[in-house]
Structure 1
Amino acid sequence: MPTPLDHIDCWIFDLDNTLYPPAAALFDLIDDRMGAFIMRLLNIDAIEARRVQKQYFHDHGTTMAGLMRHHGVDPEHFLLDVHDIALDRIGPDDRLRAGLTRLPGRKLIFTNADADYAARVLDARGIADLFDGICDIRATRYIPKPEPDAYAAMVTHLGIDPAKSLFVEDMARNLTPAKALGMTTVWLDNGSESGHRDHLPDHVDYHVNDISDWLDSLPTPWGIS
């Protein structure tokens, strides 16, 4: 049975492919910029650059973490470069906004991206004003999800009680450390690349396919309509 939610006072959301659908293909633009960055850095062709990119993503949680470890890449240089994309593929979503508005307590972001980019995405979706804080890759000292140290940094940075917090993620593997801390977990199984990787059903309290459907399905014992 799903975990009851009447104790939740912090609702924490991943950003990319969670607060907008993977079908928007926004991350394809970031992927392209990552590939071009790696091609320039290592003087390799596009095929080899993509292999390196995805290998580092799978092995280190983010491509950036692998580039930092193996090639001494400046994370700020990388972040500014790969997130320099147009956001015209996404727009406001009234249904998502309404669902988020009904949630009681604080609404927060936990992302492997940087806060500047996250703020741009939230603004493009028309929901920036609903969120009370962002824990980004800088706040975790460039340690990405799913590394446990990133979650420890997030707890401190956002000032949450894990036992009263819920975390929504499109990447199943990123829920395991959250569950270990005592958080309620929601896997948004919406077709994200590698979303099923390292999926452990015991670490997922809610398995959903559409974020707005899930938000609309929640009971509202808090008196919010």
Structure 2
Amino acid sequence: MGPPSPDRPLLLPGESHLTAPEARGFSGIDTWVFDLDNTLYPHDARVWPQVDERITLYVMNLFGLDGISARALQKYFYHRYGTTLRALMAEWKIDPYDFLDFAHDIDHSSIALNPGLGVAIEGLPGRKLILTNGSRRHAENVAKKLGILDHFEDVFDIAAADFVPKPERSAYEKFLGRHGVDPTRSALFEDIAKNLVVPHDLGMATVLVVPRTIDPFRESFEQEAVRAPHIDHITNDLAGFLTDRVAPALAA
């Protein structure tokens, strides 16, 4: 698969879902785990661009930089530490809660209610949890606007992970321990391929959720339909995948 372009679908024409030949299925799954940002909502909801801009503004204010310089520093932090927050905590001892409150102070009006996704999640047997590198407040605000918050038992956020983000192994281990989740009986839905390596290693069924077209506000590697041993399934339509692939597998 070549590099994606803004005008080309990430899956082949007519494809919304892909399943690897040796994919882990959904029989016996009793815990359904969902990432939040760019997984439970499409990029046209314009949630992540706002958060990203707020992080840039935080860096501008903290260091007295112009926008271009702050953006470059922010991306350096992201690639070196996994999140800007982790970098600022490690090197400048900032208050993480102040950072999260600032970064997630966004307009939610562009998030559309998604009844189809709500019905699909509600129909999953067992527990449903959100696992996010963001804050609990952010996750709850977004899920509420989508109309799906009531379907989830709990949110495991970056604070619960002691501010160690995915894809670090300890973030997943803390999540599994906190909620008593058996990874071999759980499935994780996530939008960044590298964040599925450890979960697959631990025994979880993995589903990569990609956008239908490239989101210009995110780096291309974060949204590619990667076909790799740690990815069991790929979809660009989460509600459709739950309805068309998961539900029939559970009924079989």
Q: TM-score range by the shorter chain?
A: over 0.9
1:122 corresponds to: 143
Runs of 4+ in 1 over 3 A off after TM superposition: 196-200, 219-223
Distance 1:179 1:217 in 2: 22
For residues 1-225 of structure 1, what are the structure 2 equivalents within 5 Å? 1=21, 2-190=23-211, 191=214, 193-194=218-219, 195-196=222-223, 199=226, 201-218=228-245, 219-220=247-248, 222=250
Instruction: Give TM-score scaled by structure 1 length.
Output: 0.94
Counterpart CA distance in 1 for 2:63 and 2:24 is: 47
Moved more, 156-165 or 56-65: 56-65
Structure 2 unaligned blocks of 5 or more: 1-20
Q: Is the 8 A contact 1:173 1:199 kept in 2?
A: no
SS in 2 for 1:207: strand
Deviation at 1:91, TM superposition (A): 2.3
Shift of 1:25: 1.7
Greater RCO structure (CA 8 Å; 6+ sep): 2
Partner deviation per Cα, 1:118-156 (whole Å, 9 max, x = no partner): 111111111111001111011100000111111111111
- Preserved CA contact (<8 Å) 2:121 2:151: yes
Runs (5+) with no aligned partner, structure 1: none
TM-score normalised over the length of structure 2? 0.84
| Secondary structure at the counterpart of residue 108 of structure 1 | strand
Alpha-carbon RMSD across the aligned residues, in angstroms, is 1.9
Percent of counterpart pairs with the same letter? Answer: 36
Aligned positions, number: 224
